[in-house]
């Protein structure tokens, strides 16, 4: 046996030994509530805008998405000497850290040495992967790898009472001690200040409290009625204080908590906090520990607790992670889509938990061609397909491009990665790109599986949920050489700024390229007319009914026109229509709320255009509309809103 394999074998054995003892057949301290307070069927999201009827539709062929799409699927432990990308394709790597490895100064609990975390994150990023991490103070069995079993920082000595967990032979600090509470909250604040939004990080487990940082100290837990063990857990108030400190410190990087009822259910009102199920889809003594009671689960099962706390739909705003129970990792998908023996109904576990990712060390042994594992991985998290692209085959000046995306996974994409359009030349070089305001987080799963507890049908019952989401944006073709190009689309992985080989988000389309760019179709760029710009505040325009000019630091010329609508109108005069015909008008606007306006060219029928919110009232965004203009410079374009306020207008461009 090689040295690397020996280390891995010891790790798997340790994981299994810990997990076997972790959830006995009657798990004390995790009782289920008498009155289930399930949230029920979630409200279906609004469908969003319809495709622009003026743009030709181009249907895109579908294909299987890759198995190592970023931020989803399996994660394996970071181990020295083991290739992070060996075995089954993945994009995540898991790492533990002892708190004492960061709080290293024995005399100062406010001094932090982040080198061990940074070194691990850099190693993981160098493999093109994102990291999922957890910090702990108690790790049964003497720790993991090179990390210590007793990771209580030395600076707590003499300040914080220490207890002995005789069942696990761990040192358990007094989690209610004010000195410890202050130390943990200061650490979390510094942790967030350093790493929130770090492109190397995918997910953070809250950790710190309890065995393995899993927010339980069994059997020294809150249930003291049937045993002689004292309670080593913090009070709900103190646990909630830790939870809320995390919620304030991390507003961008995704956080996950072990159980829905931790801290007395304090996370119930914190939509950014997800959950991690570390005994995923295991059956023990005939009961499941993920699926709810209604599906043969135990009273302490992960989803039973979610139902009782009314957070079974938390996946709509926060990620669901955890670990495939180590004892079943080698056979977890052998009977897909169901299960057998200690493996519960795996498809139901993924669909009802809306699982995005799981630690799965034994996935190192899976065959990349195993169809069962592939089906499960593609179901986990997001699975995005561009159904149609919308654009003119031949375009010039400023034109509009749209796409329609749907999601056949069980969860949304959770990060606001920049979506960019581009053009590739005949040699495959990207010659121009345009960043858009499109948000992939809006593409929710098209259908969801109903809990039997919802009472909407026999299991399995599926409900329509998300819609094929339409986005569009203007692209400026001015300055490009005339000729034939390929229109392409990409979601930019921020990790690419650190490592160009970072795993690319790829769509389930036949035209998806390994470089991350999805081929939308051929576009010919014509010679066209030049683009003409018209300031809203120009003296030749007509303002009526209360419309006025005002200062705007971010606007062209430092001025805009507001109070359009409710009787107020802005009319652009002397607009050049060139040789006449259909022209694209790009409206530069500002509004902190969604508004609409009627756009009327000359005396033709007006069109109603929607304007999404901008960051503030002085940072313009753009939207486009196609209008018909007469030849020459005698055209007018009028903006109004007879039933409400329109956005403030900076300028328009016509091409």
- pTM of the entire structure? 0.79
Contact 257, 267 (CB under 8 A): yes
Give 304-324 pLDDT, tens digit per residue.
999 999 999 999 999 999 999
The yes-or-no verdict on residue 34 having pLDDT over 80 is: no
For residues 457-478, average pLDDT? 96
Percent of the chain residues topping a pLDDT of 70: 94
| pLDDT (0 to 100) of residue 312 | 97
The CA–CA distances, whole Å, from 646 to 17, 590, 594 equal: 64, 10, 9
- Asked whether the predicted pLDDT for residue 495 surpasses 50, the reply is yes
**Residues facing residue 384 across a β-bridge:** 407
**In this predicted model, what pLDDT tens digit does every residue of 142-190 receive, in sequence order?**
988 899 999 999 999 999 999 999 999 999 999 999 999 999 999 999 9
pLDDT value for 230: 93
Please write down the long-range contacts of 286-294, taking CB distance under 8 Å and 24 or more positions apart.
Answer: 287/25, 288/344, 288/345, 289/23, 289/325, 289/344, 290/344, 290/349, 290/353, 291/344, 291/345, 291/348, 291/349, 291/352, 292/352, 292/451, 292/452, 292/453, 293/32, 294/451, 294/452, 294/453
Could you tell me which of 333, 468, 347 has the C-alpha nearest to residue 410?
347
- For residue 133, the model assigns a pLDDT of 98
- In this prediction, residues 374-395 reach a mean pLDDT of 96
Model pLDDT for residues 562-613, shown as the tens digit of each residue: 999 999 999 999 998 877 888 899 999 999 999 999 999 999 999 999 999 9
Q: What is the pLDDT of residue 145?
A: 86
In tens, the pLDDT along 276-293 reads 999 999 999 999 999 999
Task: State the maximum Cα–Cα separation within the chain, in Å, rounded to a whole number.
Answer: 92
- 181-226 per-position pLDDT tens digit: 999 999 999 999 999 999 999 999 999 999 999 999 999 988 777 7
Q: Please check the confidence at residue 384 and state whether its pLDDT lies above 90.
A: yes
Whose CA is closest to 556, among 620, 477, 648?
Answer: 620
* Share of residues in the chain with pLDDT > 90 (%): 85
Q: Hunting for tokens 């209580």 — which residue is that?
A: 152
pLDDT in tens, 346-372: 999 999 999 999 999 999 999 999 999
- Cβ atoms of residues 57 and 387 within 8 Å: no
- Angle of CA points 70, 73, 79, to nearest 5°: 85
Please name every residue paired with 463 in a beta bridge, in sequence order, or none if there are none. Answer: 448
What integer pLDDT is reported at residue 633 of this predicted model?
86
Task: Please give the pLDDT value at position 479.
Answer: 87
Q: What is the pLDDT of residue 21?
A: 38
């Amino acid at each position: 046996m090689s040295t690397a394999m020996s280390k891995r074998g010891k790790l798997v054995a340790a994981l299994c030994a810990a997990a076997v003892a972790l959830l006995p057949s009657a798990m004390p301290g995790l009782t289920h509530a008498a009155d289930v307070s399930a949230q029920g069927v979630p409200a279906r999201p609004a469908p969003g805008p319809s495709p622009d009827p003026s743009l030709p539709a181009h249907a895109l062929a579908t294909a299987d998405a890759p198995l190592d799409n970023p931020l989803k699927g399996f994660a394996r432990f970071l181990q020295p000497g083991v290739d992070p990308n060996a075995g089954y394709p993945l994009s995540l790597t898991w790492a533990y850290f002892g708190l004492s490895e960061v709080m290293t100064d024995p005399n100062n609990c406010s001094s932090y040495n982040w080198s061990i975390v940074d070194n691990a994150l850099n190693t993981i990023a160098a493999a093109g992967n994102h990291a999922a991490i957890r910090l702990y103070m108690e790790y049964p069995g003497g720790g993991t790898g090179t990390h210590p079993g007793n990771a209580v920082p030395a600076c707590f000595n003499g300040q914080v009472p220490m207890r002995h967990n005789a069942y696990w032979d761990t040192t358990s600090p007094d989690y209610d001690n004010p000195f410890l509470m202050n130390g943990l909250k200061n650490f979390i604040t510094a942790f967030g200040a350093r790493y929130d939004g770090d492109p190397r990080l995918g997910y953070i487990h809250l950790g710190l409290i309890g065995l393995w940082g899993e927010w339980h100290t069994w059997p020294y837990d809150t249930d003291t009625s049937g045993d002689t063990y004292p309670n080593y857990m913090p009070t709900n108030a103190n646990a909630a204080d830790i939870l809320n400190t995390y919620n304030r410190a991390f507003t961008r990087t995704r956080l996950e908590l072990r159980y829905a009822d931790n801290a007395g259910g304090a996370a119930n009102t914190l939509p950014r906090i997800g959950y991690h199920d570390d005994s995923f889809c295991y059956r023990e003594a005939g009961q499941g520990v993920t699926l709810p009671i209604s599906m043969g689960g135990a009273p302490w099962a992960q989803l039973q607790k979610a139902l009782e706390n009314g957070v079974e739909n938390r996946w709509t705003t926060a990620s669901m992670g955890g670990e495939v129970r180590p004892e079943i990792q080698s056979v977890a998908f052998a009977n897909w889509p169901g299960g057998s023996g200690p493996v519960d109904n795996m498809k139901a576990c993924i669909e009802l938990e809306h699982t995005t990712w799981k630690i799965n060390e034994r996935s190192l042994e899976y065959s990349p061609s195993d169809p069962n594992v592939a089906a499960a991985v593609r179901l986990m998290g997001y699975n995005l397909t561009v159904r149609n692209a919308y654009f003119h085959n031949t375009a010039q000046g400023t034109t509009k491009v749209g796409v329609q995306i749907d999601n056949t996974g069980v969860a949304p994409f959770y990060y606001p990665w920049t979506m960019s359009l581009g053009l590739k030349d005949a040699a495959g070089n990207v010659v121009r790109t345009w960043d858009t305001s499109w948000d992939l987080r809006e593409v929710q799963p098209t259908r969801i599986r109903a809990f039997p507890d919802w009472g909407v049908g026999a299991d399995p019952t599926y409900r329509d949920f998300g819609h094929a989401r339409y986005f569009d944006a203007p692209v400026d073709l001015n300055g490009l050489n005339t000729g034939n190009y390929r229109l392409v689309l990409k979601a930019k992985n921020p990790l690419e700024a650190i490592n160009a080989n970072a795993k690319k988000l790829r769509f389930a389309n036949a035209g998806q390229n390994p470089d991350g760019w999805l081929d939308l179709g051929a576009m010919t760029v014509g010679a066209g007319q030049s683009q003409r710009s018209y300031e809203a505040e120009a003296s030749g325009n007509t303002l009526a009914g209360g419309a006025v000019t005002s200062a705007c630091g971010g606007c062209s010329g430092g001025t805009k026109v507001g109070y359009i609508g409710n009787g107020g109108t802005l009319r652009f005069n002397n607009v050049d229509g060139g040789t006449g015909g259909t022209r694209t008008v790009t409206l530069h606007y500002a509004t902190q709320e969604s508004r609409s306006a009627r756009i009327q060219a000359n005396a033709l029928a007006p069109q109603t255009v929607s304007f999404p919110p901008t960051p503030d009232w002085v940072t313009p965004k753009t939207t486009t509309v196609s209008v018909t203009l007469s030849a020459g410079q005698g055209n007018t374009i009028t903006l109004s809103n007879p039933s409400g306020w329109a956005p403030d207008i900076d300028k328009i461009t016509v091409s």
